[in-house]
Structure 1
Amino acid sequence: MKKPELLVTPTCVDDIKPLIDAGADAFIIGEQRFGLRLAGEFDREAVKEAIHIAHEHGKKVYVAMNALFHNDKVEDIEDYMKFLNTVKPDAIVFGDPAVLMIAREFACDIKLHWNTETTATNWYACNYWGRKGAKRAVLARELNMDAIIETKENAEVEIEVQVHGMTCMFQSKRSLVGNYFEYQGKVMEIQNKKYQKNMFLHDKERNNKYPIFEDENGTHIMSPNDICIIDELGEMIDAGIDSFKIDGVLKSPEYIVEVTKKYRLAIDTYIEDQDRYDDIKEELVEEIEAIQPPNRPLDTGFFFKETVY
C-alpha cells in the first residue's frame, strides 16, 4: 500500500524545520504576486532558503504560481520562472496556461502541478492537463468522496486532495476591505486592517463568521468551518491518492505543527495497522477540536454531501 504525501503550508522559513520534525513530506510556498491564498509570504531569498532546508532533509518544496494573471504580469512570470529554474523547487503549482507555455518556452524541467482551485472536477480535465505537461492535478474542494475515488481510478496524473483547513468561497480581484474603508473616509485604517487575521463577514441569520483574507490577488471570503478528514482517510489511502494537503491559511504556526503531527500519526497508523487506526481516529479528532478556535468548528466539507454553506 502506497503512503500518501503529507503536504503542508508554512507561514515562514522558520516553520520548515518544525514541520519536518512534525512529519511533513512537502511544502507549498511562494509570493502573493504569483500564488493564491498563501499561508505566508516567501520572497526569493526565503524561497531559496526553504528549498535548501527541505532538500537537506529529503523533503519537497512546491512553489505556487496559480494566481490569475493579467497582461501586466505576464512578463513577471518569465523572470520568476528563470529564478525558479536556478533554485530548483520540486514542482511549480499553476492554473493559468501562461505559466505552462512560458515553462515550455524556457525548457524548464521543473515538474508542474495543475491547480485552478475549482475546475478540477473530473478525470478528463486532469488528464487533459496531464497530456499538456502537468504531473499532478489538485482536485476541487467541492468533490465528494465517491467522485474523488472515481477520479483517481481514471487519472493519468498524481492526485492531490485537501484534507484539513478552510476553503475559499468567494474571490474578487478588488480590495473590498480597502474600498469599504475609503468609502467611509477612513483611509488611514486600510493598512491597519488589510493583513489582519481577525476580519470577518458576519452572517447573523446563520450565526456564522466568514474570515476575510486579502492579498495582492484581491479579497477572499473563506468558509466558516475547517475541513477535518483525519478519521476518514482510509478509503483515499486505499485508492492511492498521492497527496493529502493541510491548508494553513490564517492559522498560527503552532496550530499547523500540531495538526501535522496528528495527520502524520493517522496516515502511518493506517498503513501499519488499520484496526489500530480505527481505535485512535476519534481521539485524534477530539485532540484537533481541543485546539480549534472557538468560532471555527470542524466539518467534513463536501466529502459526504453535495453542499455545506
Structure 2
Amino acid sequence: MKKPELLVTPTKVEDISRLIKAGATAFIIGEETFGLRLAGEFKKDDIREAVTVAHQSAAKVYVAMNALFHNDKLPLLPDYISFLAEIGVDAIVFGDPAVLMVAREVAPQMKLHWNTETTATNYFTANYWGKKGAKRAVMAREINMDAIVETKENAEVEIEVQVHGMTCMFQSKRTLLGNYMEFQGKDLKVEGRSKDRTLILHDPERDAKYPIFEDENGTHIMSPNDICIIDELEDMLEAGVDAFKIDGILKSVDYLEKVTALFNEAVELFLRDPDAYQDKKYYYLQEIEKIQPANRKLDTGFFFKETVY
C-alpha cells in the first residue's frame, strides 16, 4: 500500500513550513477572484513564495480555480494560468470547463484536478474528465465509503477525498446577506478574506450553528459540524486513495498543525502495522476532540450516511 498525499489548506505563506513539518505533502491555495472557499487569500507574490517554500521540501502546491466563471472574467484566465505555469505550480484545481480549455491553449503541460464539489459521484464521470485532460478527480462530500472505494477501484485518474474539516452546504452567486441587509435598511459590505467571518445561522431546534459568509463569489453556508474520519481510514488506504484533504477554512494554523500531525501519524501507523492502528485509532480521534472548537462537533459526514444537514 502506498501513502496517500496529505493535502492541507494553509491560511498564509508562513503556515506552510509548519504544516510540512507536521506531515503535509501538498497544499491548496489561491485567491478569491478565481477560487472558492479558501482558507486564506494568496495573491500572485504569495503563490510564488509558497511554491518556493513548498518545493524546497518536495511538497506540492495546487492553485484553486474552481469558481464558476461568467463572461466578464474569461479574459483574466490566460494570463493567470500562464503565470501559474511559469512559477511551477504543480496543478490547477478546476470545475469550470473554461479553465481546462484555456489551459490547453496557454499551458498544455499543466496538470489539472477536476473539482466541482458535488458532481464527482461515480467513476464514469471521473474518467470522462480524465479523458478531457484531468489527472485527478475530487470526490463529492455527499457520497459514502462504499462508493468512494468502488470509484477508486475503477478510476483511471487519481482520487482525492476530504477526510477532515467543514463542508459547504449551499452557495449562491448572489450576495444574499447584503441584499437582505439592504432590504432592512442596513449596510453590510462584503468582507475580504483577511477579516474574520463571524456571522452564524443558528438553528435552536437542532442546536446547530452554520457559519455563513459572503465574498466575491457570492454567499456560502457551511456545515455545522466538522468531518473527521481519522478512525475510519482503513478502507480508503487499502483501496489506494491518492490524496486525503484536511480543509482548514475558518481554522487556526495551530489547530491545523495538530490535526495534520495526527492524521500523518495515523496513516503511517496503518501502513506499518494495521493491527496497531486498530488499537490506537480512537486515541487519535480523542486527541482531535480535545482541540475541537466547542461549537464545532465532529462527525463522519456522509461516509456512513449518519449526517443530515
Instruction: Give the TM-score, by structure 2 length.
Output: 0.97
- TM superposition shift of 1:110: 1.3
In the other structure, the counterpart of 1:278 is 278
In the other structure, the counterpart of 2:245 is 245
In the other structure, the counterpart of 1:95 is 95
In the other structure, the counterpart of 2:11 is 11
In the other structure, the counterpart of 1:132 is 132
Aligned pair count? 308
1:170 aligns with 2:165: no
- Alpha carbons of 1:143 and 1:274: their partners in 2 closer, same or farther (altered >3 Å)? same
- TM superposition shift of 1:196: 2.7
Alignment of 1:256-271 (within 5 A): 256-271=256-271
C-alpha distance in structure 1 between counterparts of 2:45 and 2:68, whole Å: 23
C-alpha distance in structure 1 between counterparts of 2:128 and 2:191, whole Å: 44
User: Identity over the aligned pairs, expressed in percent?
Assistant: 67
In the alignment, is the contact (CA less than 8 A) between 2:192 and 2:215 conserved in 1? Answer: no
- TM superposition shift of 1:216: 1.3
Paired amino acid for 1:52: T
| Structure 2 residue ranges without an equivalent (≥5) | none
C-alpha distance in structure 1 between counterparts of 2:154 and 2:190, whole Å: 47
In the alignment, is the contact (CA less than 8 A) between 2:85 and 2:107 conserved in 1? Answer: no
CA offsets 1:32-60 (integer angstroms, 9 cap, x no match)? 11011000000000000000000011100
C-alpha distance in structure 1 between counterparts of 2:213 and 2:282, whole Å: 31
- TM superposition shift of 1:191: 5.5
Instruction: Give the TM-score, by structure 1 length.
Output: 0.97
Paired amino acid for 2:123: W
CA offsets 1:258-288 (integer angstroms, 9 cap, x no match)? 1101001011111111111112110110111
Alignment of 1:1-309 (within 5 A): 1-187=1-187, 189-190=188-189, 195-305=195-305, 308-309=308-309
- TM superposition shift of 1:197: 2.6
- Superposition RMSD on alpha carbons, in Å? 1.4
- TM superposition shift of 1:307: 5.0
C-alpha distance in structure 1 between counterparts of 2:123 and 2:79, whole Å: 32
C-alpha distance in structure 2 between counterparts of 1:222 and 1:247, whole Å: 12
Paired amino acid for 1:198: T
Paired amino acid for 1:102: V
CA offsets 1:178-234 (integer angstroms, 9 cap, x no match)? 2232223222x5367994332101112212111113221111100000000000001
In the alignment, is the contact (CA less than 8 A) between 1:181 and 1:190 conserved in 2? Answer: no
- TM superposition shift of 1:252: 1.1
- Alpha carbons of 1:86 and 1:192: their partners in 2 closer, same or farther (altered >3 Å)? closer
- TM superposition shift of 1:64: 0.4
| Structure 1 residue ranges without an equivalent (≥5) | none
